[in-house]
Amino acid sequence: MRVLIVEDETKIADLISDVLEAEGFIPERAEDGEKGWYLGSTENYAAAILDIGLPKLDGLSVLRNWRAEGLDMPVILLTAKSNWNEKVEGIDAGADDYLGKPFQMEELVARLRALLRRTASQKSTILEVGTLKLDLRQMRVSVDGRPLKVTPLEYRLLSYLLHNRGAVISQETLAENIYYRDQEPDSNAVEVLVGRLRRKIGGNFIETRRGFGYLIAEDAT
Ligand code: CA
């Protein structure tokens, strides 16, 4: 899952990127508000982490622009801790959550996970379909209680399909959400990856819809 980080302070952006990467997300960065607005409007992200104080265009304006464009991507706003005014404005502008600086990276990750769960209307940190389980906190996959060894790429693929279960996801969308931007995959890479993952998890969890993409149905077994 790709997450957009709009933050001009390189140190903080680095920390956030690292921690998100370690949690299996694909972080992408913008250092100013204009670029952040552009990326958020034109690319497909699971969520955005948006700083308020940004060069070129401030975070609140970025958020208002996104919402005015009808973009409902979940957004966590980074505010100055003491500034309640910013928080109120942020919520009015359409933020889903906010975090006062300085904050603990663990808290950011926990809030991001909670937000993604809410979006997927899922209450637990475990995504489950039939006997297949994916534990978002421990980053583990199991079938019938039996733990499976999966690569980070396979994990990202499974996590994306499970977050979007019940929906057919095209190969392009999958590739966009599981590969890093500098890792251009081959045209059949997703197909190969799905095949490999299918053999590992067994059953008919991942369905192919020829010409459309892949699907994990709500009642898959
Ligand atoms: Ca800033």
Rounded distance between C-alpha atoms, residue 125 and residue 123, angstroms: 7
What are the helix (H) ranges across the chain?
10-22, 33-42, 59-68, 84-93, 105-119, 152-163, 171-178, 189-201
Does the pLDDT of residue 25 top 70, yes or no?
A: yes
Rounded distance between C-alpha atoms, residue 56 and residue 19, angstroms: 27
Q: Measure 103 CA to ligand 1 centroid, in angstroms.
A: 14
Q: Which two tokens stand for residue 54?
A: 């940004």
Identity at 209, one-letter amino acid code:
R
Q: What is the mean pLDDT of the chain?
A: 91
Q: Measure 47 CA to ligand 1 centroid, in angstroms.
A: 19
- The pTM (predicted TM-score) of the whole model is 0.72
Q: Measure 100 CA to ligand 1 centroid, in angstroms.
A: 12
Distances (CA, A) of 83 to 90, 98, 99, 112, 118: 11, 12, 11, 22, 26
Q: Burial of 158 by CB count in 10 Å (0-12 exposed, 13-18 middle, 19+ buried)?
A: buried
Least confident span in 83-92, 169-178, 201-210: 83-92
Rg for the chain, CA atoms, rounded:
18
φ/ψ of 190, rounded to 5, equals -65, -40
Q: Measure 9 CA to ligand 1 centroid, in angstroms.
A: 6
Cβ neighbors of 25 (< 8 A, separation 6 or more) are 1, 2, 3, 46, 112
Q: Measure 28 CA to ligand 1 centroid, in angstroms.
A: 16
pLDDT of residue 187: 74
Q: Measure 4 CA to ligand 1 centroid, in angstroms.
A: 15
Distances (CA, A) of 152 to 1, 23, 191: 12, 10, 16
Q: Measure 178 CA to ligand 1 centroid, in angstroms.
A: 28
Does the pLDDT of residue 131 top 90, yes or no?
A: yes
Q: Measure 139 CA to ligand 1 centroid, in angstroms.
A: 31
Average pLDDT over residues 35-40: 95
Please give all residues whose CB falls under 5 A of ion ligand 1, grouped by chain where several chains appear.
Answer: 8, 51, 53
